[in-house]
Structure 1
Amino acid sequence: MRIITGSYKGRHFDIPRTFKARPTTDFAKENIFNVLRGYVDFDGTTALDLFAGTGSISLELVSRGCKQVISVEADRDHADFIRRCFAKLGDDRDVLVRGDVFRFLKRCRQQFDFIFADPPYTLGDLPQLPDLILGGNLLAPGGIFVLEHGKDHDFSAHQRFAEHRSYGSVNFTLFK
């Protein structure tokens, strides 16, 4: 796994083979961040990375200048890996929350300029995530929410739908 651009551009982290998480591919990550340049300037923003997995998106967000990133990950080994990655960088802008995303969303009172969610594609509650996040006052005015999902989901009828992008088997839906 590598960081594509920003202050940590080119840094690599070896993901243990035992991990169940699938990091967003470099190809998909690079393309979605190119699209996001038209929506958000990450410098000085606050971001939320839900289902953080390997921490790939959190690392990218910090590298691109976010002042704070909250990474939520339930798996102990994955959370430890994220913690070690940021320790290697010597960067304290990531706040790691080890716990259930749905419990976190119910309790969170902070607003974010950018929210990214990469749940397991087979997650039964995946279709409810946009309403849960957007209805929970978590997205700051003018903010963007990106949901990574498989090809079986279509959110184009959602009232806050902005656009959809597909890169191979990886799909992203953007909400405003």
Structure 2
Amino acid sequence: MRIISGKYKGRRISPPKGLPVRPTTDMSKESLFNILNNRFDFEGLKVLDIFAGTGNLSYEFGSRGATSITAVDADLGCIKFIKQTAAEFDFNIAAVKNDVYKFLKSHKSAYDIIVADPPYNSSQKEFEDVVSLVFENDLLHEDGMMIIEHSKHTTLDHMMNFSFAKKYGGSTFSFFEFEKDDSGIDDEGDDGEE
């Protein structure tokens, strides 16, 4: 696992064996951040990384200058590793051990970017609940974006505020954002109704 851009570009990170994770591949990560680069200035961004696992995506945001990153995972080993790595790189990452669904229900802060990488074997309803909880609890800023990584067997394009999806190998990133008339996004199949 390596950081692909920013201050720590090329630095390798070696998580301990035995963590219950499936890190996002470098190729998928590079594609994701190419999209985000076109939309955001990372300096000063407030980011929420849920189902954070090894913290792979959090470190990428940190390397690119995001100033406030919250990484949430239910596994204590993952949280310990994220804390250790954040200290090593001097990233401002708050690592929170919590059930993600409970966290989303009780959390009150809003973010510029929310990334979610639930286990691929999560149920369709569990994926849908992530989307619903984020928007029902106002966790995303109006001009923000949420990205969920999932397998090609899960579809989220019917969910509220779905914007577009990108496929990379066996993985798909579904992007969610509030509708904007001036966004320049091609909303194919969108009937224009809120």
- Pairwise TM-score range, normalised by the shorter structure: over 0.9
Q: How many aligned positions are there?
A: 175
Question: Pairwise mapping of residues 1-176 of structure 1 onto structure 2 (< 5 A)?
Answer: 1-91=1-91, 93-124=92-123, 125-176=126-177
AA aligned to 1:121 is: Y
Conserved 8 A contact 1:119-1:149: yes
Q: CA deviation at 1:22?
A: 0.9
Deviations 1:59-117 (A, max 9, x none): 001111111000001101111111111121133x1011111111111111101000000
AA aligned to 2:64 is: R
Question: Structure 2: how far apart are the matches of 1:17 and 1:117?
Answer: 22
Conserved 8 A contact 1:117-1:148: yes
Rg: which structure is higher?
A: 2
Q: RMSD value over aligned CA atoms?
A: 1.1
Conserved 8 A contact 2:74-2:99: yes
Q: CA deviation at 1:43?
A: 1.3
SS of 2:30's equivalent? helix
Question: Structure 1: how far apart are the matches of 2:82 and 2:138?
Answer: 27
Question: Structure 1: how far apart are the matches of 2:144 and 2:39?
Answer: 8
Conserved 8 A contact 2:128-2:159: no
The corresponding residue for 2:185 is none
AA aligned to 2:113 is: F
Question: Structure 2: how far apart are the matches of 1:99 and 1:154?
Answer: 26
AA aligned to 2:137 is: G
Higher relative contact order (CA 8 A, sep 6+): 1
AA aligned to 2:101 is: F
Question: Structure 2: how far apart are the matches of 1:87 and 1:31?
Answer: 27
Question: Structure 2: how far apart are the matches of 1:154 and 1:100?
Answer: 23
Q: CA deviation at 1:17?
A: 2.4
Query: Which ranges of structure 1 fall in alignment gaps of 5 or more residues?
Result: none
**What TM-score, normalized to structure 2?**
0.87
AA aligned to 1:60 is: E
Question: Structure 1: how far apart are the matches of 2:155 and 2:47?
Answer: 24
**What TM-score, normalized to structure 1?**
0.95
Conserved 8 A contact 1:119-1:148: yes
Q: CA deviation at 1:7?
A: 1.1
Question: Structure 1: how far apart are the matches of 2:159 and 2:128?
Answer: 11
Q: CA deviation at 1:127?
A: 2.4
Question: Structure 2: how far apart are the matches of 1:111 and 1:130?
Answer: 14
